[in-house]
A and B are shown apart, each in its own frame.
Chain A
């Protein structure tokens, strides 16, 4: 069964850092682009970042450029999102998703909640 499980969310103060992880199983992780998507409370989905299957290409939404870093470890079948200089507006449920090609995100994990507050 193809499965994605996020972890690492929690409460962090403004300006702080957090590292999210996404454990993948049930498919050849190293062959797929991977994506992070977030949903702020009461808001819609927002595409955050993606990373090529070999990790050599990465892209970010403008609002997180320079603060967030997406990475992956194929040996551990894991995707990461390092989040620095966190702001209140980064508060959201963060989902990881497999990109099956041209933005077809399938499946998604259940999400992990990040709360940025003092």
Chain B
């Protein structure tokens, strides 16, 4: 149950795109299409952005998109806005009814 690996930080100017990676193993990210992504503004409840690798819940802007290749999932935020500055976490099913989060990425809008 080791945490999935994310870069500690990412940044971009307003309007630019930023992509966050989430690397696991064949026992979690690579083994299932059950990767979700969460946005967390400190002091608030985390919010789901993407589920099942690339599906977007209603109400989430299409600026947020997800994908997966092998053992690595990715979240892309296009058209960065000031309110996108937050912490982002991936989460994957890891078998046996267990799940595991990524280490988290702090996104800064320059």
Which A residues lie at the B interface, using CB under 8 A? Answer: 35, 37, 44-47, 50, 57, 59, 61-62, 95, 97, 100-111
Contact = CB atoms under 8 A, between A and B. Distances in A.
A47 B89 CA distance: 11
B34 A102 contact: yes
Interface of B: 1, 3, 34, 36, 38, 40, 44-48, 51-52, 57, 87, 89, 91-93, 96-104
B83 to A, nearest CB: 18
Given A44-B89, A50-B99, A95 B1 contact: no
Instruction: List 10 A-B pairs, minimum CB-CB distance, nearest first.
Output: A44-B104, A104-B51, A59-B97, A108-B45, A102-B34, A106-B48, A47-B99, A45-B101, A45-B89, A108-B46
Nearest to A100: B51
13 contacts: A45-B38, A45-B104, A46-B101, A47-B98, A47-B101, A57-B97, A97-B46, A102-B51, A103-B99, A104-B36, A104-B52, A106-B51, A110-B44
Nearest to B40: A45
B105 to A, nearest CB: 9
Contact of B92 (A97, A100, A103, A107): A103
A107 B45 CA distance: 8
A111 B36 contact: no
